[in-house]
């Protein structure tokens, strides 16, 4: 299974990651969402290099131009509200893609906010049979919600290839996904990989709660 960690390269993605991590800059919700959207756009460009292509002739006002265009039928999927800006970034690039949405929420089972459950309430998706599925989730903490989301999505068909795209992941989550997703047709793309989780299941150093930073506090 191919795992890409963009933080190992010198790219503009590192600038956007630094800004969404910065506890002062991240208070600007519009900029926070925009930076995640930008990361999605850049990841989409990199993923486009792994798609299959075929020749195409395009008639211009002055002649015929030969080019190559993607063959893949792409479906973009997201699970939590925090994933919406990342999803939009991908959609800006893959503007002909289908879209799937899994409505899920996290709930702590104890007062110390340590024991966490994930619930899925709603799924809207086109057929995924023989499609290229890109699942966008900005924070891949344990991989549990990604696994549940993928299981829900595959009730709509089995994709030809799966791209797991996240902004910040933990090494634990990357290893988990590499074991539970199809090894022969999955690629994991991370803007950064952090070392650990705290007892409340937040990524450390991470950036905090991506959903709250993008859209405001929740009850």
**Segments making up each domain of the chain, as ranges:** 2-50+73-215
DSSP 3-state of 179: helix
With a cut of 70, list the residues of the chain below it in pLDDT: 105-116
Which among 213, 198, 212 is positioned nearest to 142, based on CA atoms? 198
CB 93 within 8 A of CB 48: yes
> What are the b/e assignments for 31-44, b being 16+ CB within 10 Å?
ebbbbbbbbbbbbb
Which among 161, 107, 105, 151 is positioned nearest to 131, based on CA atoms? 161
Q: CA triplet 138, 140, 145: central angle to 5 degrees?
A: 105
pLDDT tens track for 88-143: 999 999 999 999 999 876 665 556 555 557 777 889 999 999 999 999 999 999 99
Architecture of domain 2-50+73-215: 3-Layer(aba) Sandwich (3.40)
Tell if the pTM clears 0.75, that is, is over it: yes
């Amino acid at each position: 299974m191919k795992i890409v960690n963009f933080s190992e390269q010198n790219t503009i993605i590192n600038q956007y990651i630094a800004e969404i991590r910065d506890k002062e800059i991240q208070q600007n919700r519009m900029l926070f969402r925009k930076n995640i959207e930008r990361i999605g756009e850049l990841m989409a460009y990199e993923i486009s290099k792994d798609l299959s292509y075929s020749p195409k002739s395009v008639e211009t006002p002055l002649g015929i131009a030969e080019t190559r265009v993607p063959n893949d039928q792409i479906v973009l999927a997201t699970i939590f509200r925090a994933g919406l800006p990342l999803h939009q970034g991908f959609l800006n690039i893959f503007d002909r893609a289908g879209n799937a949405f899994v409505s899920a929420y996290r709930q702590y089972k104890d007062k110390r906010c340590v024991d966490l459950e994930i619930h899925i309430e709603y799924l809207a998706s086109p057929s995924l049979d023989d499609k290229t599925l890109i699942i966008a989730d900005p924070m891949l903490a344990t991989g549990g919600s990604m696994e549940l989301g993928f299981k829900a999505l595959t009730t709509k068909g089995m994709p030809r290839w799966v791209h797991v795209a996240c902004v910040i992941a933990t090494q634990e989550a990357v290893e988990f996904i590499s074991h539970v997703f199809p090894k022969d047709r999955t690629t994991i793309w991370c803007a950064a990989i952090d070392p650990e989780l705290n007892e409340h299941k937040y990524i450390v150093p991470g950036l905090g709660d991506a959903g709250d930073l993008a859209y405001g506090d929740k009850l």
